[in-house]
Structure 1
Amino acid sequence: MYIPTVEQLLEARVHLGHLRSRWNPRMRPYIFMEKDKIHLIDVLKTQRLLEEAAKAVREIARQGRAILYVGTKKQAREILKEMAESVGMPYVTERWLGGMLTNYKTIRRSITKMEAIERMMRDGTFEKISKRERLLKLREKEKLERFLGGIARMPHFPPAAVYIVDIVEEEIALAEANRLNIPTFAMVDTNADPTKVTFPIPANDDSTKSIELITGVITAAIREGIEAAKAEALAKNPEA
Structure 2
Amino acid sequence: MASKIEVKDLLEAGVHFGHLTRKWNPNMAPYIYMERNGIHVINLYKTVAKLEEANEALSKIAASGRKILFVATKKQAKDIVADKVSKINMPYITERWPGGMLTNFVTIRKAVKKMASIDRMKKDGTFNTLSKKERLQVDRLRAKLEKNLGSIADMTRLPGALFIVDTMREHIAVKEAQKLNIPIFAMVDTNSDPRPIDYVIPSNDDASKSIEAILEEVTKAVAAGLAERKNDKNNDKEDEEEDVMDAKAVMIDDEDDDATEAKKAKKAKPVAAAPKKVKADELTKIEGIGPKAEEALIGKGVATYAELAKTAPEKIKEILTEASSTMAHLDPTSWPKQAKLAAAGKWDELKEWQDSVKGGVE
Paired residue for 2:168?
168
| TM-score normalised by the chain length of structure 1 | 0.97
Give the distance between the partners of 1:113 and 1:54, measured in 2 at CA: 35
Q: CA RMSD in A?
A: 1.0
The alpha-carbon deviation at position 61 of structure 1 amounts to 0.6
- For the pair shown, which has the larger CA radius of gyration, 1 or 2? 2
Give the distance between the partners of 1:4 and 1:230, measured in 2 at CA: 25
2:97 maps to amino acid? W
Structure 2 unmatched ranges of 5 or more:
242-362
SS at match of 1:100: coil
Give the distance between the partners of 2:232 and 2:158, measured in 1 at CA: 25
Paired residue for 1:103?
104
> What are the Cα deviations for residues 85-128 of structure 1, in whole angstroms up to 9, with x where unaligned?
11111111100011000011221221121111111111111111
> What are the Cα deviations for residues 34-90 of structure 1, in whole angstroms up to 9, with x where unaligned?
011000000000000000000000011111111000000001111111222111111
The alpha-carbon deviation at position 4 of structure 1 amounts to 2.6
SS at match of 2:195: helix
Give the distance between the partners of 1:121 and 1:174, measured in 2 at CA: 37
Give the distance between the partners of 1:203 and 1:37, measured in 2 at CA: 17
Paired residue for 1:120?
121
Alignment of 1:81-160 (within 5 A): 81-155=82-156, 157-160=157-160
The alpha-carbon deviation at position 152 of structure 1 amounts to 1.6
Paired residue for 2:53?
52
Give the distance between the partners of 1:149 and 1:166, measured in 2 at CA: 22
Matched, 1:219 2:219: yes
Structure that is richer in strand per residue: 1
Structure 1 unmatched ranges of 5 or more:
none
Paired residue for 2:193?
193
Give the distance between the partners of 2:130 and 2:143, measured in 1 at CA: 18
Structure 1 stretches (4+) deviating beyond 3 angstroms?
none
Aligned residue pairs, count = 238
Q: Greater RCO between the two (CA within 8 Å, min separation 6)?
A: 1
Paired residue for 2:20?
19
Paired residue for 1:33?
34
Contact 1:3–1:50 under 8 Å retained in 2: no
Give the distance between the partners of 2:88 and 2:7, measured in 1 at CA: 26
Q: Percent identity?
A: 50
Give the distance between the partners of 1:195 and 1:116, measured in 2 at CA: 42
**More displaced 10-residue stretch of structure 1: 218-227 or 111-120:** 111-120
| TM-score normalised by the chain length of structure 2 | 0.65
Contact 1:188–1:200 under 8 Å retained in 2: yes
